[in-house]
């Protein structure tokens, strides 16, 4: 992992729960999950890691766009699993940022069958920002 927490700049830490694709912030309670890590969490009906349930010591700005901790590009804000009502920050190349209560809510959506795991992962990958278009030379 290259960067700190995109919300509060505290260091991101592994969950210690066996998934290499899950990093969290004990400062604000947010969690960054790689695409592979999200697939693993969804497939195993896992619960949110401890930092996702931690009492946040820093406030979280609600609707601000955040940068991916790996590539530092701004992530897209997307509805998790389609119509769940949960909006998360997604980097199409690297993973998804979940604010403090969002990962637990997202895993409940998947467990309920409202958003099949394969759809969630496909949507996350599809969130990749399109490459900038280069103008064709005229003449």
**Under 8 Å between Cβ of 36 and 19:** no
pLDDT digits (tens, 9 = 90+) for 44-70: 877 777 665 555 544 455 568 899 999
Alpha helices (runs of H) in 44-101, residue ranges in sequence order = 50-53
pLDDT digits (tens, 9 = 90+) for 126-139: 655 444 344 445 54
10-residue averages of pLDDT along the chain (139 residues): 82 71 87 89 75 53 80 91 84 91 86 68 55 45
Supply the pTM of this predicted model.
0.76
Q: What share of the chain is helix, strand, coil (3-state, %, to 5)?
A: 25, 15, 60
């Amino acid at each position: 992992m290259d960067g700190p927490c995109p919300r509060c700049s505290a260091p991101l830490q592994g969950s210690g729960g066996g998934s290499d694709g899950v990093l969290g912030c004990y400062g604000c309670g947010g969690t960054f999950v790689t695409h592979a890590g999200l697939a693993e969490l969804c497939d195993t009906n896992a619960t949110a890691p401890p930092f996702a349930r931690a009492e946040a010591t820093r406030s979280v700005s609600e609707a601000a766009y955040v940068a991916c901790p790996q590539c530092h590009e701004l992530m897209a804000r997307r509805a998790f699993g389609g119509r769940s009502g949960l909006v998360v920050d997604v980097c199409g190349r690297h993973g998804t940022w979940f604010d403090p209560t969002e990962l637990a809510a997202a895993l409940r959506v998947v467990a309920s069958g409202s958003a099949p795991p394969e759809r969630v992962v496909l949507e996350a990958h599809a969130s990749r920002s399109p490459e900038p278009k280069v103008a064709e030379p005229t003449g």
